[in-house]
Structure 1
Amino acid sequence: MKLSNLKGCAAYMALGLGVALSASAASAEDAPSWCGPNKASLALLDGFGGNSWRLVTTASGKEEAAKCPSITDYYYADGQGDTQKAISDINSMAARGVDAMVVFGDAGPAILPALTKAYRSGAVVVPYRVNVGGEAGKNYTRFVGADFVYDGESWGKWIKENFPDGANILFLSGPAGNSQGLDELKGMKNILDDSYKFLNPAPFAVTNWDPSLTQQVLSAAIAQHDNIDVIVSDFGPSLVGALPVFANFDRSIPAIATSDGNSLGCFWEKVHADNPGFKLFTVATGNDNVRLAVQWAIAEATGGTPPSEEVFKAPNFEDSTDGDPNPVQCRSDLPGAIYLSAQLSGDEQAKAVGQ
């Protein structure tokens, strides 16, 4: 199997993907049901591929594609946060005649015309995780989303179990108005009644998923509120640099419901004994959302059996209170910027992020 790349994609080279997929691809006898008999080429396109979460996700997509021996060529392109480059990457893949595309559409509806053009040219087009607008069967083949309401419900159930009489909650999310945070809030409110008070400005405290801004927001919240029972964040690793702020106020770190990250798990192991209120619950950060999208794209392109699910639901991952389904995880021998909930092994993730 040949592995190709768009010229000038630095992130691609950093991932070390310039090897043939055939070295690790399964035989036809071992191929999963979503891998059909028809030969096809596959492209994985990122709107932005330059952080550790994206690097691990990209490596996960490559690993999933390698399970199907019918994939004859595999391409990757990084839009580098530039909407016009992301559009150009889609157009270039269509011009090459790539049979199937899996697209992380960071720019949202701005890339819909390019996706539509590629789809109408005959390519299988599967945007995932970020809503790009449009309709399946008209603008693209299938949209494979993530159920962020489900994440919020998972956090809400854990909060209710551990704080049955109510709690003061600080909810941190990304950019203002982002749909992920809004869906997560909806999920929590599906579970929690009015005895659970949100301390942040509605709908959530804006952090842009940036560690330095998270620290500023958290410092302000600690100064303003004497009692924070639970912090909810949809990107756990961004909290690590901010949580020591509690010590500056002579306060224990409170309970946290979030998504996983090796840096967060190792931080918990280091400080929880001195912070008795620091209970930790995580859901999977969602790198494996790409696997479901890859399965759909390959099934459609090769004549395989499509997956039964169209939406990725992040499973619960860690719970420091009862160890179900796992106690808090830490691989101190590996980088902090990996996600042990992902199917990709921790050692392979370390290679993907270049450490």
Structure 2
Amino acid sequence: MCGTKPMIVGVSDGYGGNTWRKTGLAEVKDELSRCKNVTRVIYSNANGDPQKANSDINSMVAQGINVLILLPDFGAVQLPAMRAAMKAGVAVVPYSAQMTGTPGRDYVVNVVGDTQQIGVLWADWLGTTLKKGNVVFMGGSPGATTSQNFMDGLRGGLKKYPDLKLLNEQYIVTNWNPVDAQKATVGLIAQYPKIDAIVTDGGETALAAVKAFEQAHLPVPAIATIASDNQVNCHYMSAKQSGKPYPYYTLDGTTTYVRFAVRQGVAAYQGTVNKESPSILPFAYADSAKGLDPKCDPTAPPDADLTSALPPQKLKAVFER
């Protein structure tokens, strides 16, 4: 897949700096280490500024990148810069966020988790473990396509389980922010006298929901989520060890999505073959119904993702940065 042409690879982040993003960058470099014809890796972090994100891409193109891997945090706003890079002959691959735009013109391919199928996996877990009760889905920011797709998959999956009722027509907005998520959960507790399961599209949201129930001195409902982190998993293990376990299911391995993006980009630029699907299914990392416990590492950062594909020493090095 590496081909023979020398290549410079650009990696563009909209919000860099947290442990998940640092892990992703390390995964890029680890994946590219297999290709001896990579001459340079250029990294940019827009620090939450969409204008800088676009100028970063333009700057990398000017520096001669051949492959661009990016997490398009700002959505369609980034399409013009991506399209210009493609016109300049760069193989552009956005990952982890679903993009509008046209494959082949605005980017090579969009590498994302199969949100619909993930929603179905959550529904199947609830259907087999909980069997009946009231379910709430908590998403991210208003209008987030990924949250809507997750919810659509969950809603569709729950049709097989008529004794499970989805209480909310629209996903609960949390902005993927623990403070907002905790406030939203407090509101849900006040609104619905009985909540048997909470499904979220992020580990931080899941932990905020758990804490809201604990602070209200209520039993924690079943929790199904994706992209957990060290903090939420340590909290679950602590609750289990103290004799207050709650049903818990999380799908993980999301830092590895970038490796799929790298392989797609390299193959597109080199003209080599990559038959992998751009639609990825994460794996079950914790499943209380099957006795599958997540790992908790008190020495790792709270937001560390221990489901990375990095070798242990390389992952430890990420945490020490």
Alignment of 1:27-176 (within 5 A): 34-164=1-131, 166-176=132-142
Partner Cα distance (1:275, 1:249) in 2: 18
**Cα distance per residue 1:221-245 (max 9 Å; x no partner):** 2233232111111111333344233
Which of 295, 302, 316 pairs up with 2:284?
Answer: 316
User: Which residue in the other structure is 1:4 paired with?
Assistant: none
User: Which residue in the other structure is 1:234 paired with?
Assistant: 201
Distance 1:226 1:276, change over 3 A: farther
Deviation at 1:83, TM superposition (A): 1.0
Structure in which a larger fraction of residues adopt helix? 2
Deviation at 1:184, TM superposition (A): 0.8
Q: Check the 8 A contact 1:136/1:143 in 2, yes or no.
A: yes
Partner Cα distance (2:211, 2:104) in 1: 49
Moved over 3 A (4+): 273-277, 345-351
Deviation at 1:268, TM superposition (A): 0.8
Distance 1:303 1:70, change over 3 A: farther
Partner Cα distance (2:182, 2:279) in 1: 32
Deviation at 1:351, TM superposition (A): 3.3
Deviation at 1:144, TM superposition (A): 1.8
Amino acid of the residue matched to residue 235 of structure 2? F
Give the secondary-structure state (helix, strand or coil) at the position aligned to 2:255. coil
User: Which residue in the other structure is 2:234 paired with?
Assistant: 266
Amino acid of the residue matched to residue 311 of structure 1? S
User: Which residue in the other structure is 1:5 paired with?
Assistant: none
340-349 vs 311-320, which deviates more?
340-349
214-223 vs 273-282, which deviates more?
273-282
User: Which residue in the other structure is 1:196 paired with?
Assistant: 164
User: Which residue in the other structure is 1:11 paired with?
Assistant: none
Distance 1:223 1:351, change over 3 A: farther
Q: Check the 8 A contact 2:155/2:166 in 1, yes or no.
A: no
Partner Cα distance (2:194, 2:242) in 1: 18
User: Which residue in the other structure is 1:29 paired with?
Assistant: none
1:186 pairs with 2:152: yes
**What's the C-alpha RMSD, in Å, of the aligned pairs?**
2.0
Distance 1:153 1:292, change over 3 A: same
Q: Check the 8 A contact 2:252/2:307 in 1, yes or no.
A: yes
Specify every segment of 5 or more residues in structure 2 that has no aligned partner in the other structure, as ranges: none
Partner Cα distance (2:99, 2:214) in 1: 42
Partner Cα distance (1:70, 1:279) in 2: 48
Identity of aligned residues (%): 30
Partner Cα distance (2:196, 2:10) in 1: 45
1:335 pairs with 2:301: yes
